[in-house]
Amino acid sequence: MDLRFTAEQDAFRRELQAWFEANRPTAPLDPPYSETGLAQHMEWERRLHAAGYAAPGWPAEVGGLGADAWHQMIYDEEYARFELPERLNKMGLVHGGPTVLAHGTEEQQRRWLPDLLSCERIWCQGFSEPEAGSDLANLRTTARVEGDTLVVNGQKTWTSQGTIAHTMFALVRTDPEAPKHRGLSFVILDLDSPGVEVRPLVQLHGNAGFAEVFFTDVEVPLENVVGPLNDGWRVAQTSLQLERGTGRGTHTRLRMAVEHLTEDVRKLAADDAGALQRLGALRAWTYAYEQATFASTDRIAREVPDDSFSSIIKLRWAEIQTAIHEENLAVLGPAAEIPDWIGDEGELRGMRRTYWHGRAGEIYAGSTEIQRNIVAERLLGLPREPRP
């Protein structure tokens, strides 16, 4: 569908464009895992927040603009188009905070969300454990109820931004006797609490983008449980659906990536019928993905239940992203081996970084296979494969 925006929506877009143009960082920021990089990102976050552009879709009572789903999509599109820095608090902004908005009490929202929005506290996600990835309900971190306190013991892993985060939204087992999906709770934990140990996981590129987080008798107020006690699986579904959904301008990023690829094919592979055919397919997929994003925004605006729609979205963007990167490598050939390939216009493409990070897109937020299972079982009603 060709979207027609209202005059007011167009004005909002122009306002954003003018502000981004005038305020965007003049040079790429360092990764946030060093003191200088963290300071640069914090400065950018502060600037966004002061202008009211930290999360336009959040309610005004907690510091947002109360903008609707379409305005938020316009914001995500322009943020992506201007290639602005990756948000430091992305997990809090895209899924942690909105889950508290959906299931938390007003008191919880007032207590946690303003600091998240201003980036005074960075949030991370504590779902995965050594024995609980795809099978998330297998998690073993326990939270024993003692009066008005939870006593947490166990371990989380693959905690993105765990080394710089202050707050974790975690799924923990509060009733070990209940069936595995029913004894879980969704809880907000301060990582500076006694008994929390964050061990950085340093990756090949030298950054500690992940951490393992260990809990030994960590005391958390019972009032930090979001939603009812032992109903965390349902609350976590909201968080996962938001994480898998459309909220990051991905359609704009994919469109820009496919435009770059088109330029490269024109320059380097214009006579290669196979490359042209694959490019055509990728352009069609990207267009279809963009349409799915508009459909998703329309559903969010009309408060239609998710119905596995976010799993389709996640499945498609992860696959298209991988395919674009693979085609880029095929077209560029040896040039792709240069770590930060510089194009004709002097632009830095960061090929190796985006290629490798792109591969992870088929794993995080639930792997491609798991999204297929969800679509097959929950949307199409196909029978589950018998488990041994």
Ligand X SMILES: Cc1cc2nc3c(=O)[nH]c(=O)nc-3n(C[C@H](O)[C@H](O)[C@H](O)COP(=O)(O)OP(=O)(O)OC[C@H]3O[C@@H](n4cnc5c(N)ncnc54)[C@H](O)[C@@H]3O)c2cc1C
Q: Output 159 or 246, the one with its CB closest to ligand X.
A: 159
Shortest CB 117 distance to ligand X, Å: 20
Which positions touch ligand X (CB under 6 A)?
124-128, 133-134, 158-160, 360, 363-364, 366-367, 369-370, 373
Coil/strand/helix, residue 198: strand
Q: Which one is catalytic: 45, 77, 129, 243? A: 243
Q: How far apart are CA 222 and CA 71, in angstroms?
A: 36
The minimum distance between CB 133 and ligand X, in angstroms, equals 2
Q: Where are the alpha helices (DSSP H) in the chain?
A: 7-23, 35-50, 69-81, 90-91, 97-103, 106-117, 232-244, 250-268, 273-301, 309-332, 351-360, 368-374
Nearer to ligand X, 134 or 262 (CB): 134
- Which one-letter DSSP state was computed for residue 77? H
State how far the Cα of 164 lies from the Cα of 120, in Å rounded to an integer: 11
**In terms of CB distance, is 347 or 369 closer to ligand X?**
369
| Active-site annotation holds for 197 | no
Using an 8 Å Cβ cutoff, are 143 and 187 in contact?
Answer: yes
Smallest gap, in angstroms, from Cβ of residue 24 to ligand X? 26
Q: Which is nearer to ligand X, 134 or 216 (CB)?
A: 134
Which of 265/370 has CB closer to ligand X? Answer: 370
Distance of alpha carbon 84 from alpha carbon 284, whole angstroms = 26
| Residue with nearest beta carbon to ligand X | 133
The residues carrying an active-site annotation are 243
